Amino acid sequence: MGKDKYENEELLKYGFPEEPDIWFHVDKLSSAHVYLRLPPGSVDLAGVKDKAEAKQRLLDAIASVPEEILAEMAQLTKENSIEGCKAAQCDIVYTPFLNLKKEDHMEVGQVGFKEESFRTLMRNVAKDKDVVKKLEKTRVEKQVDLAKEKEQRDNEERARRRKIIEERKKAEKEEAKRHAEEKELQSYAALQHLEKTTNAGVSKTGSIEECRQIEEDFM
């Protein structure tokens, strides 16, 4: 969570697209930018070129978040909005980090959406004192080098993708080898069905003249 607009801007700059980070904010009011970071591997977009498939994978990841966690995120977001925390109820919006759009004309900490339809509204969120109290007890504040953290994550992601590519190539090579072996076995099987011929019993007298006659017949 960013505690001011400048930290919000840093979070926008160094967010994780594919864990993924899920961004929360009070709808239509100023508030802290609050992020929920899903476990590594929650979304794998490596090699996904179809936009619809990528979007569905993100939706599936968000759908996997327990309702209890979403409720906590909503309370945390409401509580950290100057206007939102005073309102009896407010709407909370959340969307994947990949759906956020930052343009040059926007003010520090301001952000828009690539697709308005790819965001979810939690309507009429009222303060839950018990949840807020629980969150305050577990609050941890620490200095984080966001640029370094992002660089480390990107290096790990590249290494993970290289491993996937290597494993895929290995599997393709083994599959090609298996097909070649099956083809060879099929060739042997075909040969086994060929009618076997022999010259046993062809010669009746065993004489040289008869052998020459048999040879001439074959030629």
pLDDT in tens, the chain (219 residues): 888 889 889 888 888 776 678 999 999 998 999 999 888 778 777 777 788 888 888 888 888 999 999 999 999 999 999 999 999 999 999 999 989 998 889 998 889 999 988 899 999 999 999 999 999 999 888 888 888 888 887 787 777 778 877 888 888 888 888 888 888 888 777 676 655 555 555 555 656 666 666 566 555
Q: In what order do the strands lie in the sheet with 34-37?
A: 34-37, 21-26, 89-96, 120-126
**DSSP H or E stretch at residue 60:** helix 51-63
What are φ and ψ of residue 157, in 5° steps? -65, -40
What distance in Å separates the CA atoms of residue 94 and residue 88, rounded to the nearest whole number?
Answer: 20
CB contact at 8 A, 114 and 99: yes
What distance in Å separates the CA atoms of residue 13 and residue 146, rounded to the nearest whole number?
Answer: 9
- The token duo for 27 is 């709808």
N residues, the chain? 219
CA 122 to chain centre: 26
Burial of 18 (0-12, 13-18, 19+ CB in 10 A): buried
What distance in Å separates the CA atoms of residue 177 and residue 174, rounded to the nearest whole number?
Answer: 5
